[in-house]
Structure 1
Amino acid sequence: MTAAPARQRQMRRLRCHNVIDMKMQSGSMVELHAFLGVCRTGSMRSAAERLCVTQAAVSRAVARLEKHLGYALFERRAQGVLPTARALELRQRIEHSVDAIEQAFAVLRHRSHKAQRFLRLRAVASLGTRWLMPRLGQFQARHPDITIELKQSRREETSWVEDVDVWIEIRRPGRPWPRDISARYLLGREITPVCTQAMAQRLRTPAGVLRESLLHHTNFPGNWALWLDAAGVPSDKVRLGGGFDLASNMIVAASSGMGVAVVQTCLVERELATGELVRPFTLTASTGRGYYVCTRKSVTPDSPAALFRAWIHDIARSDPA
């Protein structure tokens, strides 16, 4: 009753022993690629260039293969190398198999690369840093297979450059979007004054801001006039204070007490939450511009660009700002 199980255990041990003691007969893939490269090009140097390694590396790999086999594979001559009869036989036996292995790995790597999708974003600098970046992790968590690359928009660039998939741009009145671009309003059309708590205590009425330094964005110097007009304060004699070409810098200046800034509330979320800045008045005014999400009309519904566009609009709709 116990003889058969004992015999089976002995056979399993013998099989495991044979597997452990099995010695690989072939050369390494590095050596085989070097050998085939020399056969195909006729020289160590050309093979090295094709394989993107040094000539010395190819020479060493071939030498190791020759030592492994126990005979020379090439005749070294002044004008190059010449494969021996045994080298020609080896090439005939292994070339198809080595190429098949290379092709198999190329296919598998291509599939892996396709599984990882990419999204190239471009956003207006201040909005990208102050509003988008704190939320971008939510999109990444929802779509971990999408690799994000965020670039900063520059004034001299058009909003439909070829190296990005989604743009967040300021609408320029009078300048239409190209026909192949889909642009949809996101947020940021309304502006409101912000300043330090100490400065706000001096501002009893909207007209009081005229006694303060009116910090402004140099690209949009008319923002203060828009807000003052909405507040019923004559703006024909408004005197602007410090100017900044980035809203981020203007916000820092306002936080330091340099003056009152008029900005979109979405750009000062952190400062309002911490009390670093306050809104002396709840009144807002529309600039008629705002930030727009732009994509090509040709994007497919399941593309990273389309997924991001749907997600960011959902985020903006739920934003209390």
Structure 2
Amino acid sequence: MRLHSPSLSELHAFATAARLGSFTRAAEQLHVTQGAISRAIARLEDHLGVALFVREGRHRVLTRDGRQYLDAVVAPLASIESASQALRRHHAARALRLSVPPTLFSHWLIPRLPDFSARHAEVTLSFAPYQRDDPMTAADIDAWIRVGGTGWPAGIAADYLIGREIVPICRPQDLTGAGAIRTPADLLTRPLLFHTHYPDTWAHWFTQVGCPHGPLAPAADFDQVGLLAQAVMAGLGVAVVPRCLIEAELAAGRIAIALQQDPPVSVARGYHLCRPLDRPAHPGLSRLREWLLAQAGQRAEYP
């Protein structure tokens, strides 16, 4: 079926110019150029085959056909605008739902969330239970923060946030006195604590700092960085962890970085903000994304 109705942009240009009696003022209200208004109305007149305006001095005045057409379209236009605004308000009022790994959530994100709330009080956040092997297809989740490097699922855009820098940690007292940790080789004499899911991290760190080593066996392993930090503080051994996850413990002096490296040792994986591309984004997601990138010291490279 052939459609005889013009585009909404042309109708809005026509109705606004008719109400204000000026193409210039219509352009200002609709945040476009006067030329855009003129072209939209010219297309509308060409489409309808009638003149809608005549010029009288500095004003644009509706013709008889223009008045009749305005009377016919003004109410439907208002209804469409009202329905669109109501839907946007409803969508914006829905909480922005995220899924975040517990360790990053508790050690990095939660301490920063008051700043986001102060800046974006209009965005309500909701947090879904974390699933380690989540395929990121749930329709009720707007975005995920996940550990990874490359190879994200099709239809997922991923922004790197933080977490690639790794550091060896120990108790502050391990850096003083007899037997203090002063070189990478000194760490090999201590019980090495491993992360259950990333058992190769210690080998990677020793290789990157140029410290020869044989097979590395864990004195104990833990499946969360928070537990690794607790074990280090308890004196069970030393661990290597993402620096971003031990900020509070470092600031409080409960643990220490055993050896500082310049440049820092990094791994390929890190925490990424993952968002689906196959459905409309929550209105608050762009604000959260920009804020997260700023907090992580990253720069937004694409919208």
Corresponding residue to 1:119 among 86, 90, 96: 96
Verify the 8 A CA contact 1:199 1:257 in the aligned structure 2: no
The one-letter code of the counterpart of 1:171 is G
Sort the Cα spacing of 1:160 and 1:282 in 2 relative to 1 into closer, same or farther, 3 A: farther
Q: 1:134 matched to which residue of 2?
A: 111
Shift in Å at residue 226 of structure 1?
Answer: 0.5
Verify the 8 A CA contact 2:146 2:273 in the aligned structure 1: yes
Corresponding residue to 1:276 among 250, 254, 259: 254
Q: 1:165 matched to which residue of 2?
A: 142
Q: Distance in 1 between matches of 2:129 and 2:201?
A: 23
Sort the Cα spacing of 1:140 and 1:285 in 2 relative to 1 into closer, same or farther, 3 A: same
Q: 2:230 matched to which residue of 1?
A: 252
Verify the 8 A CA contact 1:226 1:286 in the aligned structure 2: no
Verify the 8 A CA contact 1:193 1:280 in the aligned structure 2: yes
Q: What residue ranges of structure 1 are gaps of 5+ in the alignment? A: 1-108
The structure with more helix, counted as a fraction of residues = 1
Q: 2:267 matched to which residue of 1?
A: 287
TM-score normalised by L of structure 1: 0.60
Shift in Å at residue 285 of structure 1?
Answer: 2.0
Verify the 8 A CA contact 1:300 1:306 in the aligned structure 2: no
Q: 1:265 matched to which residue of 2?
A: 243
1:303 aligns with 2:280: no
Verify the 8 A CA contact 2:146 2:274 in the aligned structure 1: yes
> How many residue pairs are counted as aligned between the two chains?
209
Q: 1:221 matched to which residue of 2?
A: 199
Q: Distance in 1 between matches of 2:143 and 2:220?
A: 33
Verify the 8 A CA contact 2:92 2:284 in the aligned structure 1: no
The one-letter code of the counterpart of 2:283 is S
Q: Higher RCO, 1 or 2 (CA under 8 Å, sep at least 6)?
A: 2
Q: 1:234 matched to which residue of 2?
A: 212
Q: 1:186 matched to which residue of 2?
A: 161
Alpha-carbon displacement from aligned partner over 1:218-238 (angstroms, at most 9, x marks no partner):
000000001011121123322
Verify the 8 A CA contact 2:158 2:272 in the aligned structure 1: yes
Residue 95 of structure 2 aligns to a residue whose secondary structure is strand
Sort the Cα spacing of 1:192 and 1:115 in 2 relative to 1 into closer, same or farther, 3 A: closer
1:208 aligns with 2:183: no
Q: What residue ranges of structure 2 are gaps of 5+ in the alignment? A: 1-85, 299-303
Equivalences for residues 21-170 of structure 1 within 5 A:
116-170=93-147
TM-score normalised by L of structure 2: 0.63
Question: How well do the aligned residues superpose, as a CA RMSD in angstroms?
Answer: 2.4
Q: Distance in 2 between matches of 1:162 and 1:117?
A: 13
Q: Distance in 1 between matches of 2:229 and 2:138?
A: 29
Residue 249 of structure 2 aligns to a residue whose secondary structure is helix
Q: Which has the larger radius of gyration?
A: 1
Q: Distance in 2 between matches of 1:179 and 1:156?
A: 15
The one-letter code of the counterpart of 2:237 is G
Shift in Å at residue 172 of structure 1?
Answer: 5.1
Alpha-carbon displacement from aligned partner over 1:112-145 (angstroms, at most 9, x marks no partner):
7556231101111111110011111211222212
Verify the 8 A CA contact 1:216 1:243 in the aligned structure 2: yes
Q: Distance in 2 between matches of 1:258 and 1:151?
A: 34
Q: Distance in 2 between matches of 1:269 and 1:305?
A: 26
Greater Cα offset, 285-294 or 152-161: 152-161
Q: Distance in 2 between matches of 1:170 and 1:278?
A: 24
Q: Distance in 1 between matches of 2:164 and 2:87?
A: 44
Sort the Cα spacing of 1:110 and 1:238 in 2 relative to 1 into closer, same or farther, 3 A: closer
The one-letter code of the counterpart of 2:270 is G
